[in-house]
Structure 1
């Protein structure tokens, strides 16, 4: 473009993307190969924090049973039990979630489903992105 080239009034830019639901929110998904910013899923992070806090409260003897703690927190014991299972996730998965490196299919509803106790099997089942980009 030279200084004598006229500047167009309108420029059309096509950016392929799609809208996906992740953790109850809608996100823009760019095409494969495009650099996507990392986004920490605050819903997952909050659930992990709650799980470890509740486990600490139970282990310290502050509450004798999950039912007692669930009553104090105002939630169903069955939900608390599912969230407490998050303390059994492999350190790699927990770190990926905290760093926002988990795959887009890793949502709270997915990790609340039963998962294997062996960390290696968890890592195969719950996909995480290991790259630093």
Structure 2
């Protein structure tokens, strides 16, 4: 008996500058941003479970510079409703993974919401 399920999601991948977008007709997912978010939560899980001792250990294992790991780990501080919007493809168009790598993220969720709103207003 085959207990495997398969789901088909009709997406088209497009480039917007250097960004990759997955477009399903209603929304556009910045796949680079989503992949960075997924890696951050995976790495945080490795730290939480004790599989890895530090961001530096993850960086060595992944053959990345430790600053890349630490910058992406900050994404785990995002408010859950912001992450939900991103997963629905409704992230601000000008907000990129590189922005998070170059700017500090406050752990205050309301300040994060205000920041996201400011990206939408500047369009």
TM-score range, shorter chain: 0.7 to 0.9
Point out where structure 1 has 5 or more consecutive residues left out of the alignment. 1-19, 28-35
Aligned residue number for residue 5 of structure 1: none
Structure-2 residue corresponding to 1:3? none
Structure 1 residue 69: Cα displacement = 1.2
2:59 is the alignment partner of 1:75: no
What are the superposed Cα offsets for residues 8-65 of structure 1, whole Å, 9 maximum, x if unpaired? xxxxxxxxxxxx946x2388xxxxxxxx841111101100100000000011111112
Aligned mates of 2:20, 2:46 — CA distance in 1: 34
TM-score, reference length from structure 2: 0.73
Pairwise CA RMSD: 2.2
Q: How many aligned residue pairs are there?
A: 101
> Which structure has the highest helix share of the two?
2
Separation (CA, whole Å) in 1 of partners of 2:112 and 2:82 = 8
Once residues 44 and 25 of structure 1 are traced to their aligned partners in structure 2, the CA distance between those partners, rounded to angstroms, is 9
1:119 matched to 2:109? The reply is: yes
- How many angstroms does 1:67 deviate by? 1.0
How far apart are 1:111 and its partner, in Å? Answer: 2.7
User: Secondary structure at the residue paired with 1:40?
Assistant: strand
Q: SS in structure 2 opposite 1:55?
A: helix
Pair 1:26–1:71, CA change in 2 (3 A): closer
- SS in structure 2 of the partner of residue 126 of structure 1: helix
69 and 94 in structure 1: CA distance in 2 versus 1, 3 angstrom threshold: same
